[in-house]
Amino acid sequence: MSKELFDNVRALIEEIERAQPTTPEELEQFRIRYLGSKNVLKPLMGQIRHIPNEQKREYGRLVNQAKQLAERKYQELKEVVARAAEAAEGQDLDLTAPGEPLEQGAIHPLSTTLNRIVRIFERIGFTVAEEREIEDDWHNFTAMNTPEDHPARDMQDTYYLRDVPGMLLRTHTSSVQARVMTRQQPPIRIIAPGRVYRNETISARAHCQFHQVEGLYVDEGVSFADLKQTLLYFARQMFGPRVRIRMRPSYFPFTEPSAEMDVSCFICDAKGCNICKYTGWVEILGCGMVDPQVLENCGIDPTRYTGYAFGMGIERQAMLLYGINDIRLFFENDVRFLRQFRAAF
């Protein structure tokens, strides 16, 4: 009986030595047979009770030799089979075949337009100021000289936070100007880009969220002539050197005097088209001299300092630049629309 058991172990050792699995599947079968939870070596160890005492040590050593041989060979074969599999996978690749082109993205047209505006004003000394989109009533309205009974405060135009009294989604980036003026004394020369919100019916010409860039310059001796020259420079950098501007009297609570600024239609060269409604002029922004009350509200001496401010919608500038007739296209993420701007950097 003991001789038969010794022969069985020696036969398994030879079997392990002869085994040469070449694929991951064959290697897994090798592992299951010799090293798995129900491997063929376990029953042999259980047979040690049938071995005479003087031979048990030799028998146990032989069984352990078989087990160690199986473990060592499995580790060696695992590396060999893995390298063979990688080589075989590489052979399936045709390195001479043309590669698949990567899909090219693009900057969103609103981002492109905003970056262009920012670069223009940075060249003449303006710095970018950004602030929170959830704002309080004082910085959004009161500091900007907006009366308590002004329609802009009405729920129909402003998104108020239901559970936080006096807080709202900012309706313009003028709140950034208020925050800068309350913590910094002149000279101040900033532009304030950002997203704003108004409770409006969404249509081809209006949206409940849009983007603005507002500018502010406060210092000693700032005049309306400075404002006009700054905006003329902007218009020609933005729309072309032949563009002319005109200013029409208007009203804003935070500026006095106030004006709307038009540019000569650069699409039809002021001859008249559907973009300019056949007038030869296109409105692009509002502007004016900062009301002295606004300066006083923010802790700046209006007897010493004057300033001008202006504001424009980014969507409107982008619609003019790219000939887009529906503001909703900017927010729908339709790839058919966005793909048209791959080269618009």
Over residues 208-236, the pLDDT tens digits come to 899 999 999 999 999 999 999 999 999 99
Domain boundaries, the chain: 2-91, 109-341
| Beta strands per DSSP E along 231-275 | 245-252, 255-264
Rg of the chain over all Cα atoms, to the nearest angstrom: 39
Q: Which amino acid, residue 37?
A: S
Question: What's the CA dihedral at 219, 225, 227, 230 to 10 degrees?
Answer: -110
Asked whether the bond before 302 is cis by omega within 30 degrees of 0, the reply is no
Q: How far is CA 123 from CA 128, 187, 191, 237, 299, in A?
A: 12, 17, 12, 11, 29
Please tell me the predicted confidence (pLDDT) of residue 345.
46
CATH 3.30.930.10 fits 109-341, yes or no: yes
Tell me if 158 sits within 8 A of 152, measured CB to CB: yes
pLDDT of 86-100, one tens digit each? 666 555 666 777 878
- Residue owning tokens 């563009």: 243
pLDDT of 255-291, one tens digit each? 999 999 999 988 777 788 777 788 889 899 999 999 9
Tell me if 33 sits within 8 A of 40, measured CB to CB: yes
- Residue owning tokens 């704002």: 135
Provide the β-strand partners of residue 261.
247, 285
Q: How far is CA 95 from CA 39, 92, 178, 193, in A?
A: 44, 9, 62, 49
- CA pair distance 330, 322, nearest whole angstrom: 12
Q: Which amino acid, residue 261?
A: M
**Secondary structure letter of residue 327 according to DSSP:** G
Please tell me the predicted confidence (pLDDT) of residue 128.
96
Provide the β-strand partners of residue 307.
218
The DSSP code sequence of 55-95 is HHHHHHHHHHHHHHHHHHHHHHHHHHHHHHHHHHHHHT--T
Please tell me the predicted confidence (pLDDT) of residue 344.
53
Q: At what angle do helices 2-18 and 53-91 cross, to 10 degrees?
A: 20
- CA pair distance 226, 217, nearest whole angstrom: 10
Overall size of the chain counted in residues: 345
- Phi/psi-derived region of residue 210, left when phi > 0, alpha when psi is between -120 and 50, beta in every other case: beta
What are the 10-residue block averages of pLDDT along the chain, 345 residues in total?
72 81 81 80 74 76 80 82 68 72 81 94 95 93 87 77 90 94 95 93 87 96 96 94 93 93 84 81 93 95 96 91 87 86 63
Rounded (5°) CA angle 181-191-184 = 20
pTM to 2 decimals?
A: 0.68
Please tell me the predicted confidence (pLDDT) of residue 234.
96
- CA pair distance 345, 103, nearest whole angstrom: 16
- CA pair distance 1, 40, nearest whole angstrom: 18
Tell me if 35 sits within 8 A of 74, measured CB to CB: yes
